[in-house]
Structure 1
Amino acid sequence: MRPVLATAHGLVRGTADPSGTASFKNIPYAAAPTGPLRFAPPHPPVPWDGIRDAGAYGPTAPQAPYAPPMDRLLPETLIPGEDFLNLNVWTPDPAGRLPVLVWLHGGAFTNGSGSLTGYDGTAFARDGVVLVTLNYRLGAEGFLHLGPGDTVRANLGLLDQIAALEWVRDNITSFGGDPDRVTVAGQSAGAMSIGALLAMPAAKGLFRRAALQSGAAHHTLSAASAVLVAARLAAILGVPPTRPDLAAVPVERLLAAQSRLRGEIAARPDPALWGEAAFNLMPFEPVVDHDTLPRAPMDAIAEGGAAGVDVLAGWTSDEFRLFTAPSGLDGLVTGDLLERTATGYGLPPGRGVAAYRAAFPGASRGELFAQLATDWFYRVPALRLAEAQAAHGARTFVYEFAWPSPAFDGALGACHALDVPFVFGNLADPAFAPLLGDAPPPALAETMHAAWVSFATTGDPGWPAYRAPGRAVRYFADVPITAPDPRTGLRTLWDGLR
């Protein structure tokens, strides 16, 4: 018997597996962002009559495939269709009052979806957590900003996420979830989105806890930088930089222009041309527009803007090796590039590279480059977020995922995205095999998954909170341990840049 549940917009028929978990897929949380709604804030979904089939994943946001070699390493699901502002729910008991975890996918704000089989929520449901995954607008359609003359709100991708969280608030009781115990969780761009949501007035009160994997509240674009990006995108397309003109561009042509723009930034990462996008190589991401996102997220959070939200934040030990080892970039790093990278990130000339050489004796230039980028992109922002939340009395926990993948003859280390299948308890999903290798440790997955379940349920993942002077960090490796203040010297080096 396929279960039928009620939402505010109509009935949905899901599926049930032998364990008792029911899943409901492709439920619209907003209207299709096409026609007059393209490049517009999300609108409520159109109600439907009868019972809507919710047995299979629905359309995903338009996106170009990952470029090689990422296309072989990162799992991807592309389902065509216009009605892609949809979500998926897994529940063990529609009559319950269970904690809820809402997952925001990664993909550098241009790729990814909530429809990956690796994000299947069966393990969470088995352990008493209602899991929700969702799709949101990507690239220019989600993060275009044209400046003060543009009357349409920016950060449409974030507004989509907020619309999904509002759907959860209004509907999740029908699926056995407790709207007062919502954890928003995500990885990479999903975690960076959460960093922005913590500072957005429209998101206040929609979640009680936040779990941020490999992303925090650091990577945004200023309005001025976003205008530079939008102007160049329009020039590539040969149209005026206005919302109606860009909305008239066919989707496939827009995606091709986005890819070309990203290549131009990578080939010439000049801040005079691209602003902050020259450093993070992400031309489309949350924009500090002084409206939807009034202030830089870290500034708002440091002043207590997210006080009361429990936070779990962390990184993988070798994040950036995903981008350097498979591509061969690690073998091309020169001493000059290493120094320019360190100073470009703001570290003192000479001292920055010297500190990393001392912290990682015997490391190659490529490995030092990856470690610098890992810290700037992921580790340091996570620590700063944790410190800011702890300063305002929030329960805050920090972890480092340290299990090294055997793939690529061990060159990946504990790279970016490697922790995701462990959190979901989905090591057997074949999409993750290129990163995991042949024998990922199931005990580590059980331990890490249990920590996320505990955090979503109680606000405590099972180790001491992060606060001075101890600064406890949980290391997820073959033998998980908790240790104080990792790499103190490097932390204080980065702290000196504030």
Structure 2
Amino acid sequence: MTRTWSGISVPGMLFALLLAGLPTAATARQAPVVEAPAGTMSGEMLDGDIRAFRGIPYARPPVGRLRWKPPVAAARWDGVRDATRFGPACHQPPSRPGSIYAPDQPLPMSEDCLSLNVWAPADAVGAPVFVWIHGGSLVAGSGREPMYDGAALAARGLVVVTINYRLGVLGYLAHPQLSEESADGVSGNYGLLDQVEALRWVERNIAAFGGNPGNVTIAGESAGALSVMYLMAAPSARGLFDKAIAQSAYMISMPALRVAAHGAPPAEESGLELSRKIGVRGLPRLRAMDPQELTVKAATSGFFPLGNVDGEVLPYQIVDAFDRGAQAPVPILAGFNDGEIRSLRFLLPPAPADAAAYEAQIRKRYGELADRMLQRYPPADLDAAMLATTRDAMYGWTAERLVRKQTALGQPSFLYYFDHGYPAADSAGLHAFHAAELPYVFGTRALLSSNWPAVPGTAAEAALSDAMLGYWAGFARDGVPAAAGAPAWPAYGEARAYMAFEQAPVPGEHLMPGMYELVETVVCRRRAQGDLPWHWNVGVIAPPLPEGSAGCP
């Protein structure tokens, strides 16, 4: 039944109000429009006067002959672009069944995936910019994941950008024929070049959203934090960012483009081997393959994407770049989680039969360092010892190395240790697991997938998230992590200070005494020998420790 008011039907009344220019709920939340150098776009106004713009292309689709090419900046579009919907994710294998990291719904995927998303306060002018690089082992993930929603950080005064970049074989394949095509004579590293192109887009366009292109923080977790280190070491990224945040970064050994290095074959040779394994020879045939079929076949054939040392995009191993002081001289915030490996148990070797077998293996493999290993990782609790050994070798050592090296450059550097538990995670044996800090940093505890251990909606959880949002926003704003009502976070410095996130933030000094020095000694000796990787081949599966070398402890 049509209801009337003063002789006008309700739909007609609304139309009359619109014609008269009177306010309605629809017009009160008028879609925001931004005119940027890239083009004009219409987004969505969110609660709290936050503007959101999604699915903005920053580079041309890397399809056909553009597959395995450096990204080409997207052309300016005509008209007003609808920027209310996320773009598709880059191609990736299906999620592992039962994984806590699996999304509730399959991601839409395409090679036309080089897009980014922006959240900005409606009144932003010269605001600090926070560019988020998603994790996922350079194999999976996207900037559209609900956990990375930028609204809460934008409410703290930031302009937040999340990006997609090419993954897996489409992002990191090196091949002699690809190198021949390149003006620089190199191949691989395409996903990293995508990230650089996204930062160039930010430099050109972010002022239109109220952001300051002279105050950009790059941030990422896991493979996103690995990417942060790559960007710090990449000459082409120099000057495109001003601060860095690396959450659960891992400074592992990398392949080199044309020579064997640290136990890895040349990256070009790995590309040839992949072509043989999947039975597709030559670039024309590889480029003609269905991208999802190629992605899955490469993953199941054992292709492991990493940046490669090609002398151009990445001139040095990451450890070498930071030892030389060749990395970007910017402030850094870095840290790791207590239970990193609890959700990554595939990184663990088979457990020894008992404590005696564990001790025997450690003594066999670590020589004169065995006593230090057994003191640091005692066999009384084998599971705890093995979890901690792999965690420290990958994430703990990397976090402290980053803040030490940036401190040596005279840059403000801040270390954290996330050791926060809550019932659903702890009861599942996932205390402070890999990526557990992300919903607190982004303020997205209510947006998690059903696979993620549910975070309680308590005041204590909200307070911890508020503190972490404040610290991260403060660091992006002026290089100092400061949060209202929370303890001061001291710089790493001579006291080796850090912030622990437990039930609340707790500052401390000298985290895990002896851990950094022990892992650094092992890594240094393996680097000196030259044919050994360093990362998760530690503990009871470690190769025999090389003898002490010049310059190594």
TM-score range, shorter chain: 0.7 to 0.9
Aligned partners of 2:238 and 2:328 also within 8 Å:
no
Matches within 5 A, 1:189-208: 189-208=223-242
Structure 1 unmatched ranges of 5 or more: 263-281
CA apart distance, 1:121 = 0.6
Q: How do 1:299-338 residues align onto structure 2 when only pairs under 5 Å count?
A: 299-324=320-345, 332=351, 334=353
CA contact (8 A) 1:198 1:297 kept: no
- SS of 1:26's equivalent in the other structure is strand
Please state if 1:443 is matched with 2:463: yes
Look up the SS of the partner of 1:162 in the other structure: helix
Matched, 1:168 2:202: yes
Question: Structure 2 vs 1, CA of residues 283 and 174 (structure 1 numbering), >3 Å: closer, same or farther?
Answer: same
Which residue number corresponds to residue 426 of structure 1? Answer: 444
Residues 388/334 of structure 1: CA separation in 2 closer, same or farther (3 Å cut): farther
Report the equivalent of 1:386: 403
> Aligned partners of 1:387 and 1:403: how far apart in 2?
24
Matched, 1:367 2:393: no
CA contact (8 A) 2:220 2:246 kept: yes
Aligned to 1:45: 74
Contact 1:330 / 1:365 at 8 angstroms: preserved in 2?
no
Whether 1:284 aligns to 2:301 is: no
Counterparts of 2:403 and 2:246 in 1: how far apart (Å)? 10
357-366 vs 377-386, greater mean Cα deviation: 357-366
For the 8 Å contact 2:379–2:385, the answer to whether it is kept is: no
Q: Distance in 1 between matches of 2:367 and 2:78?
A: 65
Amino acid at match of 1:393: G
Secondary structure of the corresponding residue to residue 193 of structure 1? helix
Is 1:227 the counterpart of 2:253 in the alignment? no
Post-superposition offset of 1:66: 2.1
Higher mean alpha-carbon deviation, 160-169 vs 87-96, is at 87-96
Structure 2 match to 1:490: 515
* Deviations 1:195-251 (CA, angstroms, capped at 9, x unpaired): 0110101000000000000015445333243234323321221123x5444222221
Counterpart AA for 1:425: G
8 Å contact from structure 1 (residues 220, 287) kept in 2:
yes
| Corresponding residue SS for 1:39 | coil
| TM superposition shift of 1:430 | 3.1
Report how far residue 122 of structure 1 moved. 0.6
Identical aligned residues as a percent? 35
CA RMSD in angstroms comes to: 2.6
C-alpha deviations, 1:65-93, integer Å up to 9, x for none?
222332x4444761233421000000003
**Cα deviation digits, residues 266-324 of structure 1 (max 9, x gap):** xxxxxxxxxxxxxxxx8101111112111112212222223531111110011011122
Q: Please report the TM-score for the alignment, with normalisation by the length of structure 2.
A: 0.80
2:214 to 180, 191, 214: 180
| Alpha-carbon shift at residue 455 of structure 1 (Å) | 0.3
2-structure distance, mates of 1:453, 1:169: 20
**Matched letter for residue 79 of structure 1:** P
1:106 to 129, 135, 142: 135
Aligned to 1:252: 292
Q: Does 1:460 align with 2:480?
A: yes
Contact conserved, 2:89 with 2:142, CA < 8 A, in 1? yes
Asked if structure 1 preserves the Cα contact closer than 8 Å seen for 2:251 and 2:394, the reply is: no
Structure with higher Rg: it is 2
Which amino acid in 2 is paired with 1:315? F
- Conservation of the 8 A alpha-carbon contact between 2:341 and 2:347: no
Equivalent residues, number:
471
Using the alignment, how far apart are the partners of 2:317 and 2:350 within structure 1? 36
Residue 411 (structure 1) shift = 1.1
SS in 1 for 2:453: helix
Whether 2:51 is the aligned partner of 1:34: answer no
1:156 maps to: 190
> 1:9 is aligned with what amino acid?
A
How far apart in 1 are the matches of 2:98 and 2:333?
Answer: 31
Q: Which amino acid aligns with 1:246?
A: L
Name the amino acid aligned to 2:296: A
Residue pairs, 1:469-480, within 5 angstroms: 470-480=495-505
> Residue 135 of structure 1 aligns to which amino acid in structure 2?
N
Whichever residue aligns with residue 484 of structure 1, its letter is E
